[in-house]
A = this chain, B = another copy of it.
Amino acid sequence: MTQTILAPDTPRAASTDAIRVAVSTVIFTVRRDPGDGSGRLMMPLVRRTREPYECLWALPGGWLDAGEGLDAAASRTLSETTGLTPSYLEQLYAFGAVDRSPTRVVSIVYWALLRADDVDTQRAAHEAAGDAPENVAWFDANAPGTLAFDHNEIVSYALWRLRNKVGYSRIAHGLLSDLFTLADLREVYEAILDRRLDPANFRRQVENSGNLIPTDRFRTGSHRPARLYRYNQDVELADRGPLSAARPGGIRTSSPESSTS
């Protein structure tokens, strides 16, 4: 074994030009099931229009451009394919198995959250502008059917990460609008964790966390009115360590990269 120092970022002859870099995103949102009225975790997918896996559903994504960072590529490809702008965006994992695609592709996969009211707002805006995305449909995140490439595996991993992260961070807020009741918030948690939570204990927990600011407004339904709450914007949605940096533009990306776009 000859000992040659092969430090990265130093050109080497060949064998790298065949590898291409793609960026994909798993986007979650919670929509109310018209059936039982409970919240369900949904996910937009894009139907492939060419080989391989033509006509199968796949995660929205695209190729990484030479002049853009990974976060920017995730935002761009997401917008181009689905017309959606997420409220939270975080890198999930880099998938690079040799056989995951007929050609050699390394996919940097992101996962994102979308506020429930943004889904309809953004869709309406695109329809008004006449550029509503085609070949996009919403799927149950827990049972999306057979997807292209290794995307089933990717979705499972994204779900696991989401369920994990909801336990120790405030990312659930990324799925709600500005004002919400504790029942709204609990519904999001229940949809993600797929189990019922005790309303009283849930209230105690989120109240003690100090992340919620109670307002003096109430939402009246067919029962006792519920107080509306607001986020404490001073607190980050998720702690990503000493390197997390909130980007200036609306959406919050959470990543250890320092450069802005």
Contacts and interface: CB of A to CB of B under 8 A. Distances in A.
Interface string A89-104: 0010111111111011
A80 B16 contact: no
A145 interface: no
A191 interface: no
B157 A243 contact: yes
29 contacts: A1-B80, A2-B131, A5-B46, A5-B47, A5-B134, A6-B61, A7-B49, A7-B50, A7-B60, A7-B148, A8-B149, A9-B53, A12-B62, A21-B21, A21-B106, A68-B98, A69-B98, A70-B97, A91-B93, A91-B94, A94-B108, A96-B257, A97-B259, A150-B257, A156-B242, A157-B241, A157-B243, A160-B243, A161-B241
Interface of A: 1-12, 15-24, 46-50, 52-53, 58-70, 77, 80-81, 83, 91, 93-101, 103-108, 129, 131-135, 148-150, 153-154, 156-157, 160-161, 164, 241-243, 255-259
